[in-house]
Amino acid sequence: MNISFDFGLDAVAQVDAIDDIGILKGWDSIKKKSKLVLCMPLEWRSVLHQTVKEKYPKFESTEMEYQAYRELAIEILYHRGIQALSLASIISKVPSRSENLKIFY
């Protein structure tokens, strides 16, 4: 079973998929947290770890730790998705090289 997250506006649904699979397979919060981290894009895994450690130096339970990772993963996926959409709209307005050549000839 491979799950990988994409940056986008459906960040909550992507992270909820981990919860749904965890319920079906009987995972505890430690297993769900590890799957959540593994599903994040590679370059954002260390950011996820560091930010959670900075915000919450100590947890009372593993469930609280999972919830902290979950909330931050949703935030990262959502905000990076908005940035990707805005970048795509900027790039789509730039004329391509072939369009420039048509104008020239």
Distance (Å) of CA 61 to CA 43, 64, 99: 27, 5, 59
d(CA 24, CA 89): 39
Within a domain: 7: no
Q: Are 40 and 78 in contact (CB under 8 A)?
A: no
The verdict on pTM exceeding 0.85 is no
Predicted confidence pLDDT, tens digits, the chain (105 residues): 556 666 665 778 888 888 888 888 888 888 888 888 888 888 888 888 888 889 888 888 888 888 898 888 888 888 776 666 555 555 555 555 555 555 544
User: Structural domain tally of the chain?
Assistant: 1
Residue closest to 17 by CA, chosen among 3, 33, 31: 3
Angle between helices 42-55 and 29-39 (to 10 degrees): 130
Angle between helices 11-25 and 29-39 (to 10 degrees): 140
Within a domain: 104: no
Within a domain: 58: yes
Show the domain range for 45.
27-85
